[in-house]
Amino acid sequence: MSTIPICQSDAEILSNREIGPGLFWIDLLAPDITRHALPGHFVHLVVSDVSEDSSRQVWLRHTPLLRRPFSIAERDPDNGIFGLIYRIVGGGTEILATRRSGERVDVLGPLGRALEPLQSGRPAIMVAGGVGVAPFLSLAQETVRDGRARPEEMTVLFGAATAGLLSGEEKFRKLGLHVKLATDDGSTGYHGLVTSLLERELDRSPDGCAYLYACGPTPMMRRCQEIARDEGIAGQVSLEGIMPCGVGVCMACVVPCVEPGDRLSPHRYERVCDTGPVFDMQEVVL
């Protein structure tokens, strides 16, 4: 269990805009959560409008019922604002996309285990698939802000189905990171999987990666695990999960885990929300 204080905030939506096809960015005003959040942390949102409205019964206000988890993509601690990136994938995100600035959302956070900080002298590659870019936007921003590592020690390999879904890459460039893109349809950057791009990068500069981060679709992260194991590179993955509670209570969002170095040992189930969402690269069985 994390020692970071958890806050429940009635956060104001400052903006909620479409930045790509079905892809959105939302900025929320929640100073307590913003103050304590670290890269890799997530928040748990009631996406529907639950503000007092006596004409609707409570259960109707709470449709969809459960909160939805989103990784924090950006933090402006001076103004108490954090940003999230999301894609419409179901009923919850569809409703979130209809919410307007000035409205409020109930937010729990910051939640989960944060990413291992970047270290100077340990060049790192972040492999992002789609909205899996969120924690790395946060990590890059905070690392540059703290001066913990130089931007040129960080490489982002960012893949998506098509160019329009690579929104956010300009933020990395602005921070001075190396950025390489991959698209399934070849509309921009490397034509193919971002994991193939990773293999190519590692071939080209074998000393260019001493630490590997991955967040994206499960097959992408599984391939990253294989590559990291073959190359002997340490790292972390950040996972999603179907999370009713988000704070370690309900035991629903578990993933099978193994002891380090022993992939044949009996599985234990760890909670993505509380033990994760960040796990050591070889710890989880994807």
User: How many residues bind another protein, per CB under 8 A?
Assistant: 36
The answer to whether residue 255 forms part of the interface with another protein (CB under 8 A) is yes
Among residues 33, 37, 46, 239, the one that binds another protein under rule CB under 8 A: 46
- Give least dist CB 127 to another protein, A: 23
Shortest distance (Å) from residue 277 CB to another protein = 14
- The reply to whether 210 sits near another protein by the rule CB under 8 A is no
Q: How far is the CB of 37 from another protein (least distance, A)?
A: 15
Instruction: Name which position in 108, 209, 215, 224 contacts another protein (CB under 8 A).
Output: 108
Q: Could you say which residues in the range 150-189 bind another protein, by CB under 8 A?
A: none
DSSP β-bridge partners for residue 268: 257
- Interaction of residue 95 with another protein, rule CB under 8 A: no
How far is Cα 69 from Cα 90, in angstroms, rounded to an integer? 13
Tell me which stretch binds another protein (CB under 8 A): 57-65, 155-163, 230-238, 276-284.
57-65
With a CB cutoff of 8 Å and minimum separation 6, the contacts of 224 are: 127, 195, 198, 212, 214, 235, 237, 281
Q: Is 243 exposed, middle or buried (0-12, 13-18, 19+ CB in 10 A)?
A: buried
Confirm or reject binding of residue 55 to another protein (CB under 8 A). no
CA distance 44 to 8: 9
Q: 17, 19, 21, 65: which one contacts another protein (CB under 8 A)?
A: 65
Q: Could you tell me which stretch among 128-136, 190-198, 200-208, 243-251 binds another protein (CB under 8 A)?
A: 243-251
Can residue 265 be called a binding residue for another protein (CB under 8 A)?
no
- What x/- string results for residues 5 through 34 when contact with another protein is judged by CB under 8 A? xxxx--------------------------
Distance, CA of 166 to chain centre? 14
CB 190, CB 212: distance < 8 Å: no
Q: Indicate the SS3 state at residue 166.
A: coil
Find out whether 201 and 114 touch, Cβ atoms under 8 Å: no
Binding segment (CB under 8 A) for another protein, from list 18-26, 152-160, 182-190, 244-252: 244-252
Least distance in Å: CB of 121 to another protein? 36
- How far is residue 241's CA from residue 102's CA, in Å, rounded to a whole number? 29
Shortest Å, Cβ 185 to another protein:
21
Shortest reach from residue 130's CB to another protein, in Å: 19
Structure-block tokens of residue 30: 């929640």
Residue of 52, 59, 121, 206 interacting with another protein (CB under 8 A): 59
Nearest residue to 97 via CA among 25, 158, 38 = 25
The Cβ-side half-sphere exposure at 78, using a 13 Å CA radius, reads: 1
Matching residue, tokens 């071939």: 203
CA distances from residue 109 to 30, 62, 239, 247, 264 in whole angstroms, order as listed = 10, 19, 17, 9, 35
At 141, list the tokens: 């921003």
Q: Which is nearer to another protein, 122 or 268 (CB)?
A: 268
* Residues found near another protein in the complex (CB under 8 A): 1, 5-8, 46, 57-59, 62-67, 106, 108, 242-256, 267-269, 274
